Amino acid sequence: MESNLYEDRSKEKVITKRDLDKMAWRSLLLQASFNYERMQACGWLYSLLPGLKKIHKNKNDLSKSMKMHMEFFNTHPFLVTFIMGIVIAMEEAKESIDTIRNIKIATMGPLGGIGDALFWLTLLPIAAGVGASISLEGSIAGPFVFLLIFNIVHFALRFGLMRYGYNTGVSAITKLKENTKLISRAAGILGLLVVGGLIASYINFNLTAVIHAGKATVDVQKDLLDKIMPNILPLGYTLIMYKLLKKGRSPILLIGITVLIGILGHLIGIV
């Protein structure tokens, strides 16, 4: 088990406003390498690199930090900079890796829900509605009005939240300076609770099989599995993957197994 503390724990202030802006620009590529296994993780790490490089002069620390930021990550692409700000403040204060991970996990889910309500259900319909109604009259101004309304809000939030997140992080850390061990333990509770919730909401795994027995038909998912416990397959599959990882199986092998189950299961009509 690796230590979850950074080797070099000198708390230098190295992050400038320019660094924050640089990372906010990079956050536009958050979903460049989006995939189902880690979702936005690789784009998230890409966005943080300018800050991490400056904070961790020690190569082992940089390696630890980068590895942690390659773990599963998914949040709302417009509000991500708020989490980036908090996380960079924590990295700069050399908080323990476990604490940073747990705070990251605890903030990413809720922001997803808030962002959906804010952007997809509010800003986009308003901006697109105004733009489209101008366009329908055959005016060329429609698209420009739409882009202007949408992006003023978009970029103000993206860059504003980066600074706000960073300042929030810095002031919270100074308040919580005492007992890091207790903080790390409390953050662990929070992180695990959220991961439990994510397992129930992010994994799509249902059986489609229907068993015909004489005149009766049994829908395996609805009539059997959901009666035992809803989301039993997502939970079970996560635990099986966990066991296999614990046994030292490689994640690539697990991807292979999953693809096989998906394709073969779909061919014979189970999933």
Partner 1 sequence: MFLQALLIAIWAGIAGIDLFNGLTHIHRPVVTGLVVGLILGDVTTGIIAGATLELVWMGMVPLAGAQPPNVVIGGVIGTSIAILANQDPNVAIGIAVPFAVAAQAMVTLLFTIMSPVMHKADEYAEKTNLKGIEKINYLAILGLFLFYAVIAFLPVYLGAESAQTIVEALPTWLIEGLGVAGGMMPAIGFAMLLKIMLKKEQVGFLILGFILVTYLKLPILAVALIGVSIAMYDYFNQKNKPNKEEKKEEYADGI
Under rule CB under 8 A, which residues in 25-54 are in contact with partner 1? 28-39, 41-43, 45-46, 49, 53
What's the min distance (Å) between Cβ of 121 and partner 1? 7
Q: Is 121 in the site for partner 1 (CB under 8 A)?
A: yes
Residues 6+ apart with CB under 8 A from 38: 70, 71, 72, 73
Closer residue to partner 1 in complex, CB, 138/214: 138
> Hey, is 35 helix, strand or coil?
strand
Quote the CA–CA distance of 259 and 263 in Å, as a whole number.
6
Q: Which of residues 152-191 bind partner 1 (CB under 8 A)?
A: 154, 178-179, 181-183, 185-191
| CA 258 vs CA 53, 107, 203, 241: distances in Å | 35, 28, 12, 10
Binding track, positions 129-158, relative to partner 1; x by CB under 8 A? x-xxx-xx-xxx-xx--xx--xx--x----
Q: Is 16 in the site for partner 1 (CB under 8 A)?
A: no
What's the min distance (Å) between Cβ of 215 and partner 1? 30
Q: Is 14 in the site for partner 1 (CB under 8 A)?
A: no
What's the min distance (Å) between Cβ of 267 and partner 1? 6
Question: Residue 102 half-sphere exposure, CB side, CA atoms within 13 Å?
Answer: 17
Across 211-234, b (16+ Cβ under 10 Å) vs e yields: eeeeeeeeeebeeebeeeeeeebb
Q: Which of residues 209-228 bind partner 1 (CB under 8 A)?
A: none
Residue the block writes with tokens 């046994």: 247
Sort 135 into a burial class: Cβ within 10 Å, 0-12 / 13-18 / 19+.
middle
Q: Which of residues 63-102 bind partner 1 (CB under 8 A)?
A: 63, 66-67, 69-72, 77-78, 98, 101-102
Q: Is 204 in the site for partner 1 (CB under 8 A)?
A: yes
What's the min distance (Å) between Cβ of 208 and partner 1? 9
